[in-house]
């Protein structure tokens, strides 16, 4: 790591409200990949690897449809969750740094109109694995599971409902700066947040991430190759993914409950990068609900849990208007 691999191109499809994409999931993936490769100033024949997470688009099919080069590396991360995007980039970084490939596209595509609602509870006749500890009791969606974790976290550390609201308000405020955002032109107020219906207490409607259809891709290549490409390369200085012992075990029996599962990777990340939270002027968190975002901020070391109310209050997380 430490800059051996760089991000040299970025591509996206159009983003749609869930289920409204006019392209298939495979088409969305192809659009994003082509746009990323073009942004980097490369050709599709230069691509020799694909990495994704939670994705149905097989590298063999992508390679044939797009006219990619001979594939030298393919991979996909285990498990679910949007943070798989970060893990996928670290896999590409590792492959480039180790010399397994020279030009890897990391991508993700989703078309819920084609395959069904992403976050919706299913109706299996039999509960297996971790679901055996939740589904029989009506806990069948990520919202309910994260609500239990968040309630405990708020109780232990005195986190208020308004602190959850600040995460939602910040996200909506940032969306107003991006004409391509699904929520562009639809700002959110604190009163609207509190007046919205409950989904799973303590989560209101706006505590839950809006699902959308679309695809995104980045090109990861070597530092040497990146210097001669169209865009100024962005070095991947460090990355980390994993879990501490017994992290994420079923029935909320993990030792660190409640947790966003980031303490272990935070220690790895800061050690590998040679910097700490105080050195970071801009941070982007992905979680599917506001509560885990607050947990993530604390577990990544940006502030202690007991100080979260002050840390996020008054628009402190929002991009300045200057």
Record the pTM: 0.91
pLDDT for 134: 85
Rounded distance between C-alpha atoms, residue 299 and residue 277, angstroms: 11
What residue has token string 């969306």? 175
List pLDDT tens digits, range 269-291: 999 999 999 999 999 998 899 99
Contacts of 123 by beta carbon, 8 Å cutoff, 6+ apart: none
Instruction: Of 84-88, 91-95, 107-111, give the lowest mean pLDDT range.
Output: 84-88
| Domains (range + CATH), the chain | 5-112+212-235 (3.40.47.10), 133-210+249-313 (3.40.47.10)
Quick check: 140 and 178 in contact, CB under 8 A? no
- Which residues are within 8 A (CB) of 182 and not within 5 positions of it... i.e. 6 or more apart? 15, 16, 17, 175, 210, 212
Distance CA 223, CA 103 (A): 11
Gap between the Cα atoms of 147 and 143, Å rounded:
6
Q: Rounded to whole angstroms, how far apart are CA atoms 235 and 273?
A: 12
pLDDT at position 65, please?
Answer: 96
Instruction: Read off the pLDDT band of 84 (50, 70, 90).
Output: confident
- Residue 276: exposure state from Cβ atoms within 10 A (0-12, 13-18, ≥19): middle
Question: Stretch 137-155: mean pLDDT, rounded?
Answer: 92
Pairing relation of β-strands 103-110 and 212-222?
antiparallel
Percent of the chain with pLDDT over 70: 97
Q: Name which residue leads in pLDDT, 198 or 18.
A: 198
Coil/strand/helix, residue 256: coil
* Model pLDDT, residue 123: 61
Q: Is 177's pLDDT higher than 90? A: yes
At residue 139, does pLDDT exceed 90?
Answer: no
Residues 178-234: tens digit of each pLDDT = 998 888 999 999 999 999 999 999 999 999 988 889 999 999 999 999 999 998 999
Residue closest to 157 by CA, chosen among 305, 311, 301:
305
């Amino acid at each position: 790591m430490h800059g051996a691999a760089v991000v040299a191109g970025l591509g996206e499809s159009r983003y749609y409200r869930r289920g409204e994409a006019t392209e298939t999931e495979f088409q969305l993936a192809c659009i994003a990949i082509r746009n990323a490769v073009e942004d980097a100033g490369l050709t599709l024949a230069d691509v020799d690897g694909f990495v994704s997470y939670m994705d149905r688009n097989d590298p063999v099919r992508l390679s044939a449809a797009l006219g990619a080069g001979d594939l030298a590396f393919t991979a996909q991360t285990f498990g679910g969750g949007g943070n798989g995007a970060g893990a996928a980039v670290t896999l590409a970084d590792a492959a480039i740094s180790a010399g397994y490939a020279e030009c890897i596209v990391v991508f993700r595509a989703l078309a819920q109109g084609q395959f069904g609602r992403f976050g919706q509870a299913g109706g299996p006749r039999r509960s297996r694995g971790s679901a055996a500890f939740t589904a029989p009791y009506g806990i069948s969606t990520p919202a309910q599971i994260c609500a239990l974790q968040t309630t405990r976290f708020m109780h232990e550390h005195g986190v208020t409902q308004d602190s959850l609201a600040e995460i939602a308000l910040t996200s909506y405020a940032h969306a107003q700066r991006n004409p391509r955002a699904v929520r562009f032109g639809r700002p959110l107020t604190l009163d609207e947040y509190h007046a919205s219906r409950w989904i799973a207490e303590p989560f209101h409607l706006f505590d839950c991430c809006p699902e959308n259809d679309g695809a995104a891709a980045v090109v990861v290549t070597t530092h040497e190759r990146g210097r001669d490409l169209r865009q100024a390369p962005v070095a991947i200085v460090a990355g980390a993914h994993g879990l501490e012992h017994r992290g994420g075990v079923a029935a909320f029996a993990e030792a660190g409950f409640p947790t966003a599962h980031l303490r272990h990777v935070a220690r790895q990340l800061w050690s590998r990068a040679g910097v700490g939270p105080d050195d970071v002027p801009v941070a982007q968190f992905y979680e599917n609900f506001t509560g885990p975002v607050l947990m993530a901020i604390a577990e990544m070391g940006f502030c202690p849990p007991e100080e979260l109310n002050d840390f996020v209050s008054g628009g402190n997380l929002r991009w300045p208007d200057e």
